[in-house]
Structure 1
Amino acid sequence: MTLTLDAVLRSAGIEPAETQAIRHAFVREHEDSGAPGINANSTDAEILAYTCEQSAKPRIFPAVLPRLWVVFMPEGGDRARLWSVLENRGEATNDGARRTFDLVATDLLADLTGRLVIGWRSPRTWRLNGPTAAAYPVLEIADAQPVPFPGFDWLVLDHFQLQAVMREHRYASWRTALSSVVGIYLITDTRDGRQYVGKADGAESIRQRWSTYATNGHGGNVELRNVDPSSFRYSILRVFDPATPTRVIDEAESHFKHALDTRGHGLNRN
């Protein structure tokens, strides 16, 4: 049974009927407007700006458009490599010849960006309705390139990034590093600035502790159960060798709770 784009979209919670697919072509300029085109060396910002501007003629670009645009880049012949999934927040301008849209990148299929390649059966067609594109075959899902571990002092993750670190192959070295230490970490709710100081000690490494946050958002902490983890930011305050006595780690945890006042104005209860 052939794997199709339909299965990939649905695995990410994307309904094909609510999307359109675009495969850009490398051109020097738009045929109808003379505006600059894109090429293999174009930046993400340039590709996004290029995608935002479309023809106002309904026969070229539909008048009514879905919320999600799944955008691919050309890769010779009938291949198309995933660039990004964009959210269409509506038409921004329309001068009768050109329309611009308020498009923003989403996290949907982010783990497959640059890795997912589908067969594009109609090389001359650059835009497809979602259900049509969904039937196209997946030709390749390339291995993810490893992401270098930045070091404990420079590690700052939002909740989505934390989930990626805990599951994706490209972050294997990060998981190894986090498995090698215990210590004190900080969770900041970026909506209101409140902070939570936590610890991983004994047989529980920072990786094990953070895996629970990636899974359920609160890690079993009463203080965090009623807070939406999507706004959390995770960082490390201090690391210790796993052989460090629990007493030493407890003292460090108490110090940071006092220094950051997370009992009085944060999310720590004790």
Structure 2
Amino acid sequence: MMPTMLVKNTLATLLAALCLTACNSDSSGNSGEEVVDPETPISPEDDPSSALNLPDTHFNYSNIELPEHYLVNDFPAGSQFQRAAIDMDNQPDHNLTTDAGATLGRVLFYDIKLSANGSVSCASCHIQENGFSDPKVLSVGFDGGETRRHSMGLTNATFYYSGKFFWDERADSLEEQTLMPFQDPVEMGLVLAELEEIVRNQDYYPALFEDAFGDPTVSSDRISRALAQFIRSMVSTTAKYDIARQDVSSPIRDFPQFTE
């Protein structure tokens, strides 16, 4: 009995040793290397952009399908407005919206690091569920101070015909406007050199800038252009107004779905 038991124990030990050796070797015969499970999620350290939760392919920012009432001027003759919305697009030729550019702009728009103490972003005062405006009369800046005026809604900003922004239209373009809140002492409290440096120091931006502009160079001009592209993509096509508007031939007619 004892010899038989000894043989069994010896065989078990040898099999265990073989199993351990196999587990520590890869198919090339190299041993001692860690085998990475292909199902293991990629960490932000391996791929910085993975922390942004962006889709594998860009959202469609550059070719938004517009309903007919954006494309046709159906105002009666003699009315104040004689243009279709599409004819009032303020998008400049030097900054046409691309999916990659607007994606970069989206990340910049929601990044709270781009303020003096890392506490507020553009989205803090321009909230999507409120038409990219703020339900508060005055918004709160990075250090708790209140802004001087109510936050403007950004929806359909691309169709604002004059192309000038802020309530007093002091910004001659959307590209110019996007940099002003960063430099406001109440809103975000930076100067442009600081803004650029903060962006350069984030490891998820180089790939986004390269995708949008062809190389990873960070500049305030590129920041403004990307933000403007994202903001111009904020087009309302499925709001209650848009749905009701499809049922009437003119915007001055009564909307059957609306009540007084």
TM-score > 0.5, shorter chain as reference:
no
Considering Cα pairs closer than 8 Å and 6+ residues apart, tell me whether 1 or 2 has the greater RCO: 2
- What TM-score do the two structures reach when normalised by structure 2? 0.20
More strand by share: 1
Q: Which has the larger radius of gyration?
A: 2
More helix by share: 2
